Structure 1
Amino acid sequence: MDPNSHKKHLINRLNPEELKQRLANETYSRTTVSFYRYVIIDNPSELRDILYYMWDKLQCYGRIYLANEGINAQMSVPDHFWQDFKEQLNTIPQFKDIPFKIAVEDNGQSFLKLQIKVRQQIVADGLQSDEYDVTNVGQHLSAQQWNQAMDEGAIVVDMRNHYESEIGRFDGAILPDAETFKEELPEVVDKLKGKEDQKILLYCTGGVRCEKTSAYLKHHGFSDVNQLLGGIIDYTRQIESENIENKFIGKNFVFDNRLGERISDDIISHCHQCGAPCDTHTNCANKQCNLLFIQCESCRAKYDACCSNDCQSYILAPDEKKPELAQQLTFTRGKRFHKPVRSA
């Protein structure tokens, strides 16, 4: 397979509205899947083009990161191409028999396009290579083993960001007040000081962040480090297929257009504008702001899906007034908040 003669097909050329319409016109169902693997990739740029050409032909969408250290992927695959997708992935030696995590809730709308990006790391941690050995990871626990360890009093640590744990978590977990994985690592080590000999349980969405965290903790002298096999996604599959007690409460935040999968009926968070029980994340309708926040249906209607009065004023203004308003008003511009963004 030579992608070099097909360079014009290796990027998306449709605008957002065209992408939405393309997805709306589909008459088939899709499966949302995530997977990762830490493995040496000598030429990630070359592999990027091979994967793009291969997956574009299968009408796959998603967000995939490649680096010399491996792959981290979240994808939407047409069901009628699912077997082809798996077989083709197995032809690449580094990804043969890679474990899949299938979405808990799937409306087929998780991604609009295919993006494959080459990065320095598949999960940015800000660390030097000599600060941990990513091959020296903690023990992987099944859902049953995880529940038992929780019952026995092990220390549970959520390795996700604050806006993820706000809507769903394991009860009693340590919840870092961080917005990035890079910020989380030193905070977790600090919170666990003096507990180096105790049993530590780590969890995240699909497991990729826990791989690095477990290696980092072992490097810092923690002797009994464990991680949830397949993350929250596979934990949910296991509890359902094996009729195991569910100890996760609320929603699992996901990094695609769905923004969340319901794991239990509990609503543990609140609307950031009025304080009503709510666990629905949204992005501010003002694209100049794009704040990720929690908003109930009532506030969505009241504020036109905006996070603030300034953003609402901006989107309702005539187009000719918007440049002037953009200079006068205050927009959050993409930050993520876990506290109210305006008074009720």
Structure 2
Amino acid sequence: MKKFLFNRYDKETLKKRVEMDTRERRVISFYRYVKLEDPIQFRDKLYDAFEDLGILGRIYLAKEGINAQFSIPIENYEALRSAVDSIPELNKIYFNDAVEDKKESFIKLAIKVRKKIVADGLDDSKFDPSDVGTHLTPLEFHEALSEPGVVVVDLRNNYESEVGHFENAILPDVGTFREELPLVEDLLKENKDKKILLYCTGGIRCEKASAYLKYKGFSKVHQLRGGIINYAKAVQDAGIPSKFKGKNFVFDDRLGERVTDDVLTVCYTCGKPSDRHTNCANLGCHVLLVQCEDCSKELLGCCSEECKNIILLPEDVQKNLRKENIKNKKYPTHHLTRKLVGR
């Protein structure tokens, strides 16, 4: 019988399958910049192996390497380690286990081939991407944060850093990593000889960023190995107070892992303290926003009254509206006028 190397089920069926699976799951991420001669062939072999292990998640492949975030039944963890180590390109790759394990993190396995595993907008032929900064363990990074004169840079997007970040870090106000590197270079132009500490969610963005900054003449570039995910686990295990405050935004259905009880931002709708990320229930909008549970309930999961009114329409009318808006390149803009209190 032919085995399908892609998902064949609709979203509701996938959700029900996850709900019915009683096994405990662990959320894992890993990445590696490594040459893949044939990413498409590599993708098919990986899908075959990972589906057999009950893995659900999102994995990106490119000729430059792999970037993976997924969940796996804990009972299959050791089998995963063996399977991955049997692949020469992934042998002994570091598994970054999440702080919080929730079975609803992912509902399907998707492995996609892209031009790059992170959209950085860089021309890799102009510098050496392997000439990265000095990797610091979480506890080394923790100590370095207290050194006089260090410059700490958050390499994530603004919607990530607004709900959680290290104290006194530079928080570039950007929506994509592609926008971030030129801005960071400009923000740091007076600090080329200072010790720079870079961090991101799991470490992958720091790899390219540190190499790029070294190419641009920054001499003391350091980066947090394993990112915030690894740091949060390390300080918890060591029993020391975290210098990262708030939540660590993650790119799965959880939308965040709680690191400390600090709430650093507010509900976009009412302005009350909240760090609860959600997507607008109007599929024609689907904007990501911070919204408290009270406002979400009041607006039926929508970002605004405008979107609330749309989801109250019959489903076929909503679909026609979405098609019409796409055809006319008309996209919702009401959420763009929101005031980000404290940003």
The alpha-carbon distance between structure 1 residues 339 and 130, as it changes in their structure 2 partners (threshold 3 A), is farther
- The answer as to whether partners of 1:163 and 1:337 remain within 8 angstroms in 2 is no
Query: Quick one: which of 219, 224, 235 aligns to 1:223?
Result: 219
Query: Deviation above 3 Å: which 4+ runs of structure 1?
Result: 319-328, 330-333, 335-341
Does the alignment pair 1:199 with 2:195?
A: yes
Give the AA of the match of 2:27. T
The alpha-carbon distance between structure 1 residues 67 and 325, as it changes in their structure 2 partners (threshold 3 A), is closer
Give the structure-2-normalised TM-score: 0.93
Partner of 2:73: 78
**Distance in 2 between residues matched to 1:171 and 1:340, nearest whole Å:** 23
Q: Which runs of 5+ in 1 are unaligned?
A: none
* Deviation (angstroms), 1:273: 0.4
* Deviation (angstroms), 1:114: 0.3
Partner of 1:318: 314
Partner of 2:33: 38
Partner of 1:23: 18
* Deviation (angstroms), 1:28: 0.7
Give the AA of the match of 2:77. W
**Distance in 2 between residues matched to 1:18 and 1:297, nearest whole Å:** 26
- The answer as to whether partners of 2:303 and 2:335 remain within 8 angstroms in 1 is no
* Deviation (angstroms), 1:325: 5.5
Partner of 1:301: 297
Partner of 1:133: 128
- Show CA shifts across 1:190-211 (max 9, x none): 0001211000000000000000
- Secondary structure of 1:278's partner? coil
* Deviation (angstroms), 1:131: 3.0
Give the AA of the match of 2:199. Y
The alpha-carbon distance between structure 1 residues 336 and 100, as it changes in their structure 2 partners (threshold 3 A), is farther
The alpha-carbon distance between structure 1 residues 14 and 324, as it changes in their structure 2 partners (threshold 3 A), is closer
Aligned length: 335
Give the AA of the match of 2:155. M
- The answer as to whether partners of 2:280 and 2:301 remain within 8 angstroms in 1 is yes
Does the alignment pair 1:14 with 2:9?
A: yes
Moved more, 142-151 or 248-257: 142-151
Give the structure-1-normalised TM-score: 0.93
Percent identity for Structure 1 against Structure 2: 49
**Distance in 2 between residues matched to 1:208 and 1:316, nearest whole Å:** 41
Query: Quick one: which of 282, 286, 311 aligns to 2:282?
Result: 286
* Deviation (angstroms), 1:82: 1.1
The alpha-carbon distance between structure 1 residues 338 and 206, as it changes in their structure 2 partners (threshold 3 A), is farther
- Secondary structure of 1:156's partner? strand
* Deviation (angstroms), 1:132: 2.6
* Deviation (angstroms), 1:62: 0.5
Q: Which runs of 5+ in 2 are unaligned?
A: none
Aligned-residue RMSD, C-alpha: 2.0
- Show CA shifts across 1:156-183 (max 9, x none): 0000000000100001111111111110
* Deviation (angstroms), 1:324: 6.6
Does the alignment pair 1:102 with 2:97?
A: yes
**Distance in 1 between residues matched to 2:319 and 2:67, nearest whole Å:** 39
Partner of 2:258: 262
